[in-house]
Amino acid sequence: MKLKFFVFLAIFAVISGQEDIFVPDFQYDVDTNRGPRIVGGHDANIEEVPYQVSLRRYNEETQLWGHTCGGIILTTDVTLNAAHCVYNRLHMKFQIRAGSDLRSQGGQLVNVTKLIMHPDYQPSGLYNDIAILKLQHKLIFGSKVWSIGLPPRGYRVPDGAALLVSGWGALEWQGSSPERLQKVYVPAVSNEKCAEVYANIRPHKICAGIVGKDSCQGDSGGPLVYKNFVVGVVSSGYRCAYDGYPGIYTRVSEFLDFIVRNL
C-alpha cells in the first residue's frame, strides 16, 4: 500500500471567474509511486536536464524531508526558483537534490542557506514570482549536474516554439506524482492569446501548453527551456493541461537585473 500526503497552499487567483490555480504540493519520501508522465510527457534522464533540481522542505512535525517544488541551477551555489515556493516559509529548512532523476534518492543533497524573493512579489496574482536560493556549499558539476544559461535581455520566444518543461509534478490535476523525473515539450502561447482566458497576464509572464501536455502541482519553480536558455520558471495555471488554458511561467528575461544582482 502506497502512502501519500499532500499539503496545498491556497493562493487566490482570478482566472476567468475560476480559482482552481495549481500551487506547490509536498510529497514525503515514503511515496515511491512511479508514473508515465509530467502531464502528457515521458521519463527523463537527469543527463538530459542536468540543471533540474528538486527543492525539498523539512517538516518539523514528521521530521521528514519531502519534495515541494522544482528548481534550476544557475551556478555551483545558486539556484533559481518561484517565489511562491518559499513565500511564508522563510523560517523553514530547505535543501536541494541535484544530479538524480529520482525524487527521493541519489544525487547531491545541499542545504539552502538563504532565500531571496523578488521584492515586488505579489501572492495574489503571482506577480514577479521568482526567487534566488543560495546553497551552503558548491555543487560538484558533471554530466548529471550543470548550470543552464540565461536568455538575453528582452528575449522573446517565438509563438508556437517547442519549449521543454521538466519536473516531478503531478501526472494530472490533483493526481499522483512520479518518483522518476518527467519531461514534455509544450508550445509557446502569445501573451495576447493567453490573456483571453487569464486575467493576470503581464509582460513578465510567458504562457505555454496545450490540452494534454503541461506542468502541474509539484513542478513549480522548475525550468521552461528553449534551445540553451531557461526562458521561464513554472508558476501557475488553471488546473493542468486543461483545454484552452496553457500553463503560466515567470518570464526570466524580464528579471535579469534581479538575478544577476543576487548571484
Cα 222 from chain centroid (whole Å): 3
Question: In order of start, what are the domains of the chain with their CATH numbers?
Answer: 162-253 (2.40.10.10)
Residue range 194-220: average pLDDT?
Answer: 93
The DSSP symbol for 109 reads: E
Q: Is the pLDDT of residue 11 over 70?
A: no
Q: Is the pLDDT of residue 36 over 70?
A: no
Residue range 17-24: average pLDDT?
Answer: 42
Give CA–CA dist 216/238, Å, rounded: 10
SS3 content of the chain, % helix, strand, coil (to 5): 10, 35, 55
Q: What are phi and psi of 257, to 5 degrees?
A: -60, -45
Q: How sure is the predictor about 79, in pLDDT bands with cuts at 50, 70 and 90?
A: very high
123-162 pLDDT, tens digit each: 999 999 999 999 999 999 999 999 999 999 999 999 999 9
Q: Is the pLDDT of residue 63 over 80?
A: yes
Give CA–CA dist 230/25, Å, rounded: 23
**pLDDT on residue 133:** 98
**pLDDT on residue 170:** 81
Q: How sure is the predictor about 26, in pLDDT bands with cuts at 50, 70 and 90?
A: very low
Give CA–CA dist 90/113, Å, rounded: 10
Residue range 34-59: average pLDDT?
Answer: 83
Q: Using CA atoms of 57, 74, 167, 154 in order, give the dihedral in degrees to the nearest 10.
A: 120
List, by residue number, the catalytic residues.
84, 129, 220
